[in-house]
Amino acid sequence: MSRSHEIESHEVQGNEVLRLAGVCKAYDVGTPVENEVLHAIDLRLDRGTFASLTGPSGSGKSTLLNLIGLLDTPTSGELFVLERPTRAMDDQERTDLRGGTIGLVFQFHHLIQAFSVLDNVLMPLMIRQGRPTAAMIDRARGLLAAVGLAALASRRPNELSGGQQQRVAIARALVSEPVLLLADEPTGNLDTVSADEVFELFRRFNAEHDCAVLIVTHDPRISARCDRVIELVDGHIVRDEAKR
Ligand SMILES: Nc1ncnc2c1ncn2[C@@H]1O[C@H](COP(=O)(O)OP(=O)(O)OP(=O)(O)O)[C@@H](O)[C@H]1O
């Protein structure tokens, strides 16, 4: 898939996609008690990274993913996306940066049932650029073909299986050609065959587009097949291991 000049994109200079420097996150739960759930996290992801983020329930994985996805802000420390510091950004700047650089895939995919599969995939581009152009539609159709759903473009999401809906969500996450793809338990509610298909899609896009991929997973089968394993326990990174 080539980048179309008719569709806005962020140009990437160096190899670094994401860097966290001393990132802490505390939730304000209305009590004076310290409630820091992430402690001084240092982490760097480069282009081509294919990593899993694992750890026990409550260790802070979703909190970390929300920070990396620019859906939430650190309490202290700095988070760089494409070498740009993000902590002082306002909501609009953060939304703009996220829109062109980060793709998000969640376990329950959050597809809009009133829209067709094709329109769901087009949605991130329409939010940024308005009415879909022929180039945008071509790109969305190309992605649906790449995830094996070309024939289902005009269906509604609830007419698809769970695995098919997850593939639509992946196509939607990729339509802005992100440099960083984040997935929160993307195979959590899928059978083994569908989970393997979804995993292979991440692998393929990682290889074809050289984007960084970070997958939060409890599934040791998925984690074992990633190039790098990052493990979080009690808000600390206790392991960050490259396997190849
Ligand atoms: N909005 C919030 N307000 C207050 N505390 C929160 C909030 N979100 C998460 N927490 C707390 O932060 C800690 C980490 O939660 P988080 O959801 O990041 O963990 P997790 O590793 O993703 O867990 P799981 O694997 O069960 O999804 C938990 O103690 C949780 O109760």
**Average pLDDT score over the chain:** 89
- Taking the C-alpha atoms of residue 237 and residue 168, their distance in angstroms, rounded to an integer, is 32
Is residue 15, in this structure, part of any structural domain at all? no
What's the pLDDT at 4?
46
Q: Ligand 1: which of 23, 24, 25, 27 to mutate, judged by most atoms within 8 Å of the beta carbon?
A: 27
192 falls within a domain:
yes
pLDDT single digits (tens) 22-59: 999 999 877 766 689 999 999 999 999 999 999 999 99
The pLDDT assigned to 119 comes to: 96
Q: What is the pLDDT of residues 173-199, one digit of tens each?
A: 989 889 999 999 888 777 888 788 888
Nearest CA to ligand 1 atom 28: 58
Tell me, what's the pLDDT at 17? 96
pLDDT-derived band at 1, boundaries 50, 70, 90: very low
The answer to whether the CB of 86 is under 6 A from ligand 1 is no
Would 198 be classed as within a structural domain? yes
Structural domain includes residue 5? no
pLDDT, tens digit, 9 for 90 and up, residues 53-79 = 999 999 999 999 999 999 999 999 999
Has residue 214 been placed in a domain? yes
Domains: count for the chain? 1
Residue-number span of the structural domain to which 220 is assigned: 47-71+91-229+238-242
Q: Domain holding 96: CATH number? A: 3.40.50.300
Residues 15 and 153: beta-carbon distance below 8 Å:
no
CB 55 less than 6 A from any atom of ligand 1? yes
The C-alpha angle 92, 111, 214, rounded to 5 degrees, equals 65
Whether 203 maps to a domain, the answer reads yes
Domain assignment of residue 13, yes or no: no
77 domain residue, yes or no: no
Mean of pLDDT values over 67-94:
95
Cα(26)–Cα(144) distance, integer angstroms: 39
Pocket test for ligand 1, best of 34, 37, 216, 237 (most atoms within 8 A of CB): 37
Ligand 1 lined by 62 (C-beta under 6 Å): yes
CA distances, 34 to each of 49, 65, 97, 217 (Å):
34, 21, 31, 28
Substitution candidate for ligand 1 out of 61, 66, 182, 217 with most atoms within 8 A of CB:
61
Contact 177, 3 (CB under 8 A): yes
